[in-house]
Structure 1
Amino acid sequence: MKIPLFPLQSIFFPGETVPLHIFEDRYKQLINDCREEGITFGIPVFINNKMEYGVEVQLVEVVNTYDTGEMDVVCVARQVFRLLTFERTVPGKLYAGGIVKLVEYDYEATIEKKQTIINGIQQLYAIMEVPFKKLNVHEFNSFTLAHKIGLSFEQEYQLLQIPKENDRLNFISIHLTSTITVLSEVERTKKIIELNGHFKNFDPLDFKNIEV
C-alpha cells in the first residue's frame, strides 16, 4: 500500500504512544491531511544512511497548535512495515511517500516465558538501583519495555524486524543475560576497589599440616 512518510532516526514499536512536535511545513500539511482525511502515515527508520523498516502510525490527538502553525501531536504506532519504494514528495504534496508492505506479527508466548523475561528485567533494575513498577504478565509483550532495558539503537532496530513473539523474547533474554552478567561483574569489581585502603581482618593460618 502507498502511504505518506515521515522518516526519522527513531524507533517506535507497535502499540507505543508517539509524541511529535511538528514544525516543518511539509509535516504540518501531513498532520492536517491526517485530521481531514483520517489517513495514517509511516515512520521509516533512518539508519546507516538507508531506510528498510518502519512503523505505520495513526494520529490520535493534536494537543497544541501554536501561532506559527507548529503543533504538538500524539500518535499511536500500529504495524511494522517494510519499505519498498520511496518518493521525496508525493504529487501535489510537500511531504514524502512510498509503497510499503505490512509485516504480519504474532504476540503468542507462554505465561512462563513472559514471566521469565519480567524477572530478568526486575533483576536488571535491581542491580542498577532503578525503581521497578510491577507488570501484569498477561498484558506484557516483547515491546512493552523495549526502550528501557538498555538495548542499543541497532539492537532495537533488530528487534523491530523479528515477527514472532517467542523469537523476540529470546532476543531480549540473551540481551538481559549478557547485560546482567556484565553489570554484576562491575558491581563485584566496585566492591573490591572500595576495600582498598581499609584495614582488613585476616584469619590466621594453621601451619601444622603444611608441607613445603
Structure 2
Amino acid sequence: MTNFIPIFPLQVVVFPGEELNLHIFEPRYKQLIKECYEQRKPFGIPSVIGNELKDYGSLLYVKEIAKTYPGGEMDIKTRGEKIFRILEVIKEVPEKLYSGAIVNYPHNEFNGDEDIMKVLIGKMRDMHAGLQAKKDFHKSDGELTVYDIAHHSGLTLEQEYEFLQLTQERQRQEYLKRHFEAALPAIEEMRQLREKIQMNGHFKNLEGFDVK
C-alpha cells in the first residue's frame, strides 16, 4: 500500500503503540494537527538524526487535544500505529503550510518467542532496579510488547532508529537481548561504585592479613 501523508519530522523515534505527548506551537504544525484531529486522519513522524531526515518513521493518530492556548498553541496526546518508509518527500503541499510524503508500509511480523519475551522483561526489570528507576506500564507483563521494552531500556536515538527498521519479531528480540548483555554489566559496575562511594567514612569490619 502506498499513499500520501502529512509529516511532522522530529528528533525522536516513535514505536507502534507508543503514546507521545507534544506541545504544538509552529503555525504549520498547528494547521497539520487541527486538520488531522478534525478529519480523524493520521500524520507521520519521520525521525531526524544528525540533522538528517530519515526514511523510516511511524504513523500517529491524535487521541486528544488536551489544551488549547490563546495563541493557538496546543498540548496533544498521540499514539503510534504502524511503521512507514518514505518514498518521496513533498516539500510544498498546495494550500498547506506543512510538508508531506509518499510512503509505503513494510510488512511487520509479530510472531516472536514467548520464553525470550519473559527473559527480556526480566532483564528490563533488572536494569530498572540497577538504575533505581520505576516504570509502571499500567498493563500486565503478558501484554508488554518488544516496543514497550525497547522504549524503556536506555537505547540511544540511533539504536531506536535501527530497532524501528527491524520487521521481524525475532530480530527485535535478538537486538534487545544483545543490548541487555552489553548494558547490564556496566550498570552493575556503576551500582558497585555507588555503594563504594557511599561506604566511604563508615567503620569497616575487615580481616587482617597474616604476613608469612
- TM-score category by the smaller chain? 0.7 to 0.9
| 1:18-53 per-position Cα deviation (integer Å, ceiling 9, x unaligned) | 212111111121122213322211111011323211
Could you say which residue in structure 1 is the equivalent of 2:105?
Answer: 102
Separation of aligned partners in 2, 1:132 and 1:69: 33
Match 1:165 to one of 155, 164, 169: 169
C-alpha spacing 1:112/1:93, structure 2 compared with 1 (3 Å): same
CA contact (8 A) 2:41 2:61 kept: yes
Shift of 1:204: 4.8
**1:148 equivalent in alignment to 2:152:** yes
CA contact (8 A) 2:8 2:43 kept: yes
Could you say which residue in structure 2 is the equivalent of 1:26?
Answer: 28
Shift of 1:133: 4.4
C-alpha spacing 1:206/1:31, structure 2 compared with 1 (3 Å): closer
Shifted more, 32-41 versus 149-158: the winner is 32-41
Separation of aligned partners in 1, 2:206 and 2:164: 53
Separation of aligned partners in 2, 1:9 and 1:54: 11
Q: Which runs of 5+ in 1 are unaligned?
A: 208-212
Relative to the length of structure 2, the TM-score reads 0.87
Match of 1:131, SS state, is coil
CA contact (8 A) 1:79 1:103 kept: no
C-alpha spacing 1:131/1:33, structure 2 compared with 1 (3 Å): closer
Letter aligned with residue 31 of structure 2: Q
Shift of 1:86: 0.7
CA contact (8 A) 2:127 2:184 kept: yes
Relative to the length of structure 1, the TM-score reads 0.87
| 1:54-90 per-position Cα deviation (integer Å, ceiling 9, x unaligned) | 1111121111122111111112111111111112221
Could you say which residue in structure 2 is the equivalent of 1:210?
Answer: none
Could you say which residue in structure 2 is the equivalent of 1:201?
Answer: 206
Could you say which residue in structure 1 is the equivalent of 2:117?
Answer: 114
Q: 1:3-152 residue pairs with structure 2 within 5 A?
A: 3-48=5-50, 49-131=52-134, 133=136, 136-152=140-156
Shift of 1:158: 0.8
Shifted more, 196-205 versus 98-107: the winner is 196-205
Shifted more, 179-188 versus 88-97: the winner is 179-188
Q: How many equivalent residue pairs? A: 207
| 1:123-150 per-position Cα deviation (integer Å, ceiling 9, x unaligned) | 1122222235486232111111323211
Shift of 1:101: 1.1
Could you say which residue in structure 1 is the equivalent of 2:190?
Answer: 186
Shifted more, 189-198 versus 105-114: the winner is 189-198
Shift of 1:195: 6.8
Shifted more, 3-12 versus 179-188: the winner is 179-188
What percent identity do the matched residue pairs reach?
33
C-alpha spacing 1:21/1:131, structure 2 compared with 1 (3 Å): closer
CA contact (8 A) 2:65 2:75 kept: yes
CA contact (8 A) 2:7 2:46 kept: yes
Shifted more, 71-80 versus 186-195: the winner is 186-195
Separation of aligned partners in 2, 1:168 and 1:88: 33
